[in-house]
Amino acid sequence: MKPINIIFLGKPGSGKGTQAEILKEKFSLHLIDTGEILRRLIKEGGPLADNILKTIKQGGLVPIWLVVFCWLKELIKIPPEKGVVFEGSPRQLEEAKILKEALYWLKRKKIKVIYLNISDEEIIKRLSTRRMCPNCLREYSLELNSELKKTKKCPVCHLPLKRRPDDNPRTIKNRLVSFKKDVYPVIRFFKKEGLLIEINAEGPVEEITQKILESL
């Protein structure tokens, strides 16, 4: 069977990372998380890191050339028989077209784009309880994990969890505005291509996963 290539779209905090991890384990996929790659670049320091961090803190989008570089350098190294799941890309129409072209050129034509649709009100609620480990960069929801709500420590690194720099009210508002401006055209593009699956992503994680599996 040809490997499946899954792209997750959705507002910040819609559960893309959680569902991508679940499908990665279930179908033995290679996960390409653009946001995590960018955070690793930030940890390395230097002028590039400063520019990325400044952009993220303002709720903006980093340049398309940098985002494409992040996921393309991983994509070309993946064995052709192994499927891929993308999280955090594409976020702009031009990038979406480049990603589709790259997948087709690499003979990865079995593509499913899953749009996790969720209200702005629910997003604000979720992001207010999201935390990140400063070491391994794993993200957790204190709302969905009662044990972490008590300890507030990463279960892997055992370090105190911190709020992401872009999870503040002003930046969240900017990111939602940016999503409607930049990502809606991406959603429309994949829908026109006949690749889009829209999922109501409000509810328990397990229910959302079941909806995704049924749709696939």
Q: How confident is the model at residue 156 (pLDDT cuts 50, 70, 90)?
A: confident
pTM, entire model? 0.84
Distances (CA, A) of 103 to 4, 16, 86: 11, 20, 12
Q: Please provide the DSSP assignment of 142-183 as one string.
A: TTT-HHHHHH-B-TTT-PBPB--TT-SHHHHHHHHHHIIIII
Residue 144 has pLDDT above 70, yes or no: no
Q: Per the structure block, which two tokens stand in for 53? A: 């961090």
- Residues with Cβ within 8 Å of residue 212, at least 6 apart in sequence: 19, 23, 114, 197, 199
Looking at residue 15, the DSSP 8-state letter turns out to be S
Domain ranges of the chain: 5-118+183-215
Give per-residue pLDDT as tens, 74-119: 999 999 999 999 998 999 999 999 999 999 999 999 999 999 999 9
Q: Confidence class of residue 183 from pLDDT cuts 50, 70 and 90?
A: very high
**pLDDT for the residue numbered 24:** 96
CB atoms within 10 A of CB 96: 23
Mean pLDDT in the chain? Answer: 89
Q: What is the reported pLDDT for 48?
A: 87
Q: Specify whether the CB–CB gap between 41 and 52 falls below 8 A.
A: yes
Architecture of domain 5-118+183-215: 3-Layer(aba) Sandwich (3.40)
Tokens standing for residue 42 = 């930030």
pLDDT at 151: 85
